[in-house]
Amino acid sequence: MFVSKTHRLWIILSVFFIGATPLFSNDDCCPAPDPCDKCAQIWPSRGPDWIITPSAGPCVSKGFDANITADFIYWTAREDHLGFALKESIQTQPDGQITQTDRGRVIHPDWNFEPGFKIGVGYLYDHDGWDIQATYTWLRVRNTKNSVSIDDLNTERILEVGGFGVFAGLSDVTEASGRWQLDFNVVDLELGRNFFISRYLKLHPHFGLKGTWQDQDYQVDALGVAQEFQVQDNRATSENKHHLEYWGIGILAGLDTTWHFNRCTSFLGNIRVSALWERFEVDNKSTRALLVPQVGNSPVTILYAENDFRTIKPVLELFLGLRWETWFCCDGYHFSIEGGWEEQWWSDQNQFFEPTINSREGDLNLQGFTVKMRLDF
C-alpha cells in the first residue's frame, strides 16, 4: 500500500510525541499528594486549610531534607580614606611663592572586580519547617595598585595625603604608588523558617551568628628627595607599610523575601544586619632610604607603631535578584539557581594607624554579582 511522504512524516511525529510524553509530564508512579505530609506545603493550595503560614521548605519527599549551596561571586571591594597622593598644577612666582593653577586630583588605589565564592550546607527540620544553614564566604583582593608621576617640578607637584609618614618626610616627590590588599573570610550560621504569607509571597526570617577574620595590607611607595642625607645624589625612596589583622563575632538577623511570578520563577529581595564584637591589630612602619645606597647612610625609620583595640561595629547586607527552581523525581529533589546584585557595608574597617588622628576610620564596601545554585535532597 502506497504511503505518501506527508503521511509518513505525521506517523513519525506522532510516535515521537507519544514516546516523549512521560518526559514532560508527572510520573504516573508517583503517589497522590498527602495533604498532611510534611512536604504538602510546597505550594499553598496543596496544604490543609488550617495551616496559617504554610512552610515553604523547600521540602523533598522521602529525603534527608538536607541541602548544599555553591555561589560564584564577582565583587569589587573598596575602602574609604585610602587616598595617598595629590597631584596638582602649579606656577612659581618671581618671589619664589608657589601658587596652584588648576584643580588637583587625589590618587586612590585602583579598584577592580575580583572573583570569589560561597559554599554552604543546610538542613530542614520537621519541627514546623525550621531550617538551619551554614555558609562560608571567600574573597581575595589583589589587583589594586595605582601610581602617579610628574616630569617637571616647576609646573606640577605631588603632595602626600593621609597624614604623617605617608612619604616618610620626602620632598620634591616625582613618583608615588599605592596598593591595598584584602583577605576576606566570613562564616554565617543561621536558624530560620521559610513560609508563605500569601499565595505568591514567601518570607524567611532568620537569626544566628556571624564570624569573620580578615587581613588588610596597604603600602605607599614614593620617589623624591631626602634633605637630611648630605650627599651629592640625595634622591631617596620611601616605603609606608600598614598591616591590619581583624576578627569579629556577633549576632545577625535578617529577612529574605520571595515574590513568585509562578511556582518556578520569583523575584528576590533580602536584607540582614549584624553587630560584631571585633578586635583590630594594626601595625604601621614608615622608612626612607637613598635611591643609590652609600656608605654611612643607612635607611631611616621615621615611624614604627602598633594599635590594638576591641570594639563593636555594624554590618549591613542587601541582595536583589531573580530565582528559577524546580522539583523532580516525584518531588524527591529540588534544584534552584538565582542571580543578582549583592551589597555589603562594614562600618569603620579602615583602622590604619595615623599618629595625628589615631586612625583613618573609613568603611569597607563590597558589591557585585552573585550567582547561586542549590540542591535539596
DSSP, collapsed to helix, strand or coil, labels residue 319 as strand
122: left (phi over 0), alpha (psi -120 to 50) or beta: beta
DSSP notation for 141-185: E----EEEE-S-TTTEEEEE-SSTTSSTT-EEEEEEEEEEEEEEE
Q: What's the helix, strand, coil split of the chain in %, to 5? A: 5, 60, 30
Percentage of residues of the chain with pLDDT beyond 70: 83
pLDDT score for 45: 53
Q: Give the burial class of 232: count Cβ atoms within 10 A of its Cβ; 0-12 exposed, 13-18 middle, 19 or more buried.
A: exposed
How many angstroms separate the CA atoms of 129 and 146, rounded?
Answer: 51
List, in order, residues 6 or more apart from 227 with CB less than 8 Å away.
171, 234
pLDDT score for 2: 45
Would you mind telling me the total number of residues written for the chain in this entry? 377
pLDDT of 38 > 80? The answer is no
Name the pLDDT band for 336 (thresholds 50, 70, 90): very high
pLDDT score for 210: 99
pLDDT score for 51: 67
pLDDT of 71 > 50? The answer is yes
* Element spanning 298, H or E: none
Of the two residues 368 and 99, the one the predictor is more confident about is 368
Name the pLDDT band for 337 (thresholds 50, 70, 90): very high
Of the two residues 86 and 14, the one the predictor is more confident about is 86
Of the two residues 47 and 101, the one the predictor is more confident about is 101
The pTM of the full predicted model, rounded to 2 decimals, is: 0.84
Name the pLDDT band for 20 (thresholds 50, 70, 90): very low
Sign of the C-alpha dihedral computed for residues 119, 121, 124 and 129 taken in this order: negative
pLDDT of 22 > 80? The answer is no
Q: Do 100 and 86 form a contact (C-beta atoms < 8 A)? A: no
- Write out pLDDT tens, residues 185-238: 999 999 999 999 999 999 999 999 999 999 999 999 999 998 776 667 789 999
Q: Which one, of 220, 203, 204, 210, lies nearest residue 248 by Cα?
A: 210
Of the two residues 20 and 212, the one the predictor is more confident about is 212
pLDDT score for 360: 67
51-70 exposure pattern, b = at least 16 Cβ within 10 A, e = fewer? eebbbbbbbbbebebebebe
Name the pLDDT band for 18 (thresholds 50, 70, 90): very low
pLDDT score for 69: 98
Q: Average the pLDDT over 102-113 and give the result.
A: 93
- Write out pLDDT tens, residues 273-329: 999 999 999 999 999 988 877 766 778 898 999 999 999 999 999 999 999 999 888
Q: Do 70 and 119 form a contact (C-beta atoms < 8 A)? A: yes
pLDDT of 21 > 50? The answer is no
pLDDT of 371 > 80? The answer is yes
Comparing 83-87, 98-102, 141-145, which segment has the lowest mean pLDDT? Answer: 98-102
Q: Do 286 and 240 form a contact (C-beta atoms < 8 A)? A: yes
Sign of the C-alpha dihedral computed for residues 138, 116, 122 and 256 taken in this order: positive
- Write out pLDDT tens, residues 76-85: 999 999 999 9
Per DSSP (E only), the strands in 228-264 are 235-260
Query: Domains in the chain and their CATH numbers?
Result: 45-376 (2.40.128)
